[in-house]
Amino acid sequence: MYLGVDCGTQSLKVIAWDPGSESLISSSQGYDLISGLPPGHKEQHPQTWIDALDTCMERLAGQGSDLSRVRAIGVSGQQHGLVLLDRSDRVLRPAKLWNDTSTGAQCQRILEAAGGLDAYRAEIGNSLPPGFTASKILWVKENEPGAYRRAVTMLLPHDYLNLYLTGEKTAEAGDASGTGYFQVARRSWSDRALRWLDPQRDLRPCLPRLIGAREPAGQLRSSLARKWGLPAGVRVSSGGGDNMMGAIGSGNVSGGKVTVSLGTSGTLYGYSSTPVLDPQGEIAAFCDSTGGWLPLACTMNVTVATEMVRAGFSFDTLEEFNRRIEEVPPGSEGLILLPYLEGERMPNVPEGTGVLLGVRPRTARPGHLARASMEGVTLGLRYGLDRLRELGARPGEIRLIGGGSRSRVWRQIAADVFGCPVVCLIQEEGPAVGAALQAAWCREEESLETWVDRFVRLDESTRRTPSRSGQELYEQVYSVYRKLSDTLVDSPVFAGHRQLIDRKD
């Protein structure tokens, strides 16, 4: 049996996978972000993840899982978060998360230290959006100097969970490539980028040891093995970021496929055997967690936007929400939502807010706004897909994962907007499944492709193909969407509006 742990923004999930019977049992525990923070600040207590993991393990045992048969564990974690530890490995402050957009000024200072964006990209291979870890380190240095001075270890969320499981401080290239101080093409930490963060202090000793994708992070601590009823010697794989694990879990370990995750954020990515560096800096040049690379597009607002509308109009169930959307014609009769609720990463508008175009009596209704939110976030992802295609991706199909993929109407919207067939997986827990598959690969002799072929299967009942009428309509809507977005990105409107919001708060 193999365990896959997925530590997300809103919940932690553990799956127990038995490859012999192909059975899968899962347990999850929800949690919240820290409330009351200023706009743009998104933080969580790392202890929240530990408590959720302990709860899930107890539930798995209570569900009848024979955890004495576990041989390896893999961990998937939300990317880019910053966990700071003192000399005793105690957490110094809450983790700043991937969707924290409070560090725009720090990004600019890092780029200035680098000699400009082009020089930064030449060293790292990526641009520096506020979500990346580097600017979070500088933010703590400038705003909480006491915590910064006491910090001797800097980890990503999945690295922190691996430390809890094994007592070892490790990192792997996939998750590390989203920090902003990692050379993607060379798969190594960048001493130059670390000096841009702090020219007076050597930060390299604060970083964990890099290991390969198939190397173990360590063995499960004996105290946890006894507590959870696991055998001695359970191996913990390198793990990786949620996008890297989602790629494995969706079978995206070779060319010809693109995975789209409809979660809190939205991501699109596809496997590459060589580094894919975007000269415009919009597509993240990431490593994957198999030894290859994972060019990736990310938008910050997906189900966070649809859930805002669902909650705002008190749709009691997701079924009712989807039904009301199906009652509205494609294109929402001209209502378009630009869903940059608290900033956006692609395009890079950290001061962004949501914008509605086409409000009139006929469209000022809950069902129209619900559909406009679903279409708006999908149109935002379309931009990322177009950029991946420009860089060489040739997807024959798109594999949908994440909570939004369960919606029948959303699947058809995605097929029409993307102009490509979409399909879901039989096993929905993408990153958790990927973590379990990587754990098996770390423990056993078989190749990762063998494990993927054996377990990752498509749910053909979910397949949707583009309709000609839908595709033509959304091409027109997308043209308007892009013009609206480009107009606002190039203007001071967002920044000025953010100042008004901050004054009111």
Write out pLDDT tens, residues 300-330: 899 999 999 999 999 989 999 999 999 999 9
Give residue 369's domain range: 1-505
Amino acid symbol at 62: G
**Assigned token pair, 444:** 């056993």
b/e code 441-474 from CB counts within 10 Å (16+ = b):
bbbeeeebeebbeebbeeeeebebebeeebbebb
Smallest CA-to-CA distance from 172 within 129, 215, 131 is with 215
Task: Please report the beta strands in 316-415, taking only residues with DSSP state E, as ranges in sequence order.
Answer: 336-339, 354-357, 397-401
pLDDT attached to residue 494: 65
Q: Domain count of the chain?
A: 1
**CB-facing half-sphere around the CA of 393: CA atoms within 13 A:** 32
**Assigned token pair, 413:** 């919207």
CA 378-383-386 angle, 5° bins: 120
Q: What confidence tier does 241 reach under pLDDT thresholds 50, 70, 90?
A: very high
Cα–Cα distance measured from residue 383 to residue 299, given in angstroms and rounded to the nearest whole number: 10
Which residues are registered as beta bridge partners of 259?
269, 399
Q: Which of 65-69, 168-172, 302-306 has the highest mean pLDDT?
A: 168-172
The answer, yes or no, to whether residue 282 has pLDDT greater than 60, is: yes
Smallest CA-to-CA distance from 436 within 68, 32, 11, 1 is with 1
Phi, psi of 348 (to 5 degrees): -80, 90
Question: Which residues are annotated as catalytic?
Answer: 242
Q: Supply the DSSP symbol for 161.
A: H
**Contact call for residues 403 and 10 (beta carbons, < 8 A):** no
Write out pLDDT tens, residues 190-202: 999 999 999 999 9
User: How many helical (H) and strand (E) elements, i.e. helices and strands, does the chain have?
Assistant: 18, 24
Cα–Cα distance measured from residue 44 to residue 41, given in angstroms and rounded to the nearest whole number: 10
Look at the alpha carbons of 250, 253, 256, 262 in this order and tell me if their dihedral is positive or negative: positive
In this prediction the pTM is: 0.86
pLDDT attached to residue 181: 98
Alpha-carbon distances of 498 from 135, 308, 482, 488, rounded to whole Å: 20, 19, 22, 13
The answer, yes or no, to whether residue 501 has pLDDT greater than 60, is: no
Q: Which of 118-127, 250-259, 272-281, 491-500 has the highest mean pLDDT?
A: 118-127
Dihedral angle of Cα 178, 182, 188, 190, to the nearest 10 degrees: -170
Q: CATH number of the domain at 225, please.
A: 3.30.420.40
Cα–Cα distance measured from residue 180 to residue 197, given in angstroms and rounded to the nearest whole number: 10
Write out pLDDT tens, residues 421-461: 999 999 877 899 999 999 999 999 999 999 999 899 999 99
Q: Supply the DSSP symbol for 272.
A: B
